[in-house]
Amino acid sequence: MNEANLRPVRTESEARELGRRGGIASGEARRERRQLREMLELVMEQDHYQLDGTKTTKGMAMCLTMVDRAIDGDVGAFRAIRDLVEPVTQRLQVERPSAEAYAEVAALLGIDSEEDGD
């Protein structure tokens, strides 16, 4: 963000008006996204016929195409599938092993657990 382009808010009423406008714009954008999502859900439920004549839904056809692309090496398709199956928030929740676990691994490896300086 370019700080030189920012204008300071001069009065409390100006800040209130800018906040109100932002809230209205946010609500409009949220409604548009909801409408788009609902339209896509309807389209994805429609019938789709594969090249071999099998009947499926458009959503299933999209999933199959993403899987095929991921198999062919499309990293973006792989990431999209991974994020749908296991959301990023779940992958980031990694627990650090306890001190006892470190000591147990060190004992198994024959390492003095005090050597690492912890």
Q: What is the pLDDT along the chain (118 residues), one digit of tens a residue?
A: 577 777 787 888 888 988 999 999 999 999 999 999 999 999 999 999 888 888 999 999 999 999 999 999 999 999 999 888 887 766 666 677 788 888 888 888 888 756 544 4
Quick one: pLDDT at residue 24?
Answer: 95
Contact residues for 18 (Cβ-Cβ < 8 A; gap 6+)? 9
Backbone angles phi, psi at 33, to 5 degrees: -65, -40
Quick one: pLDDT at residue 67?
Answer: 93
Quick one: pLDDT at residue 108?
Answer: 83
Quick one: pLDDT at residue 1?
Answer: 58
pTM comes to 0.50
Quick one: pLDDT at residue 55?
Answer: 93
Give which of 90, 89, 67 is closest to 79, Cα–Cα. Answer: 67
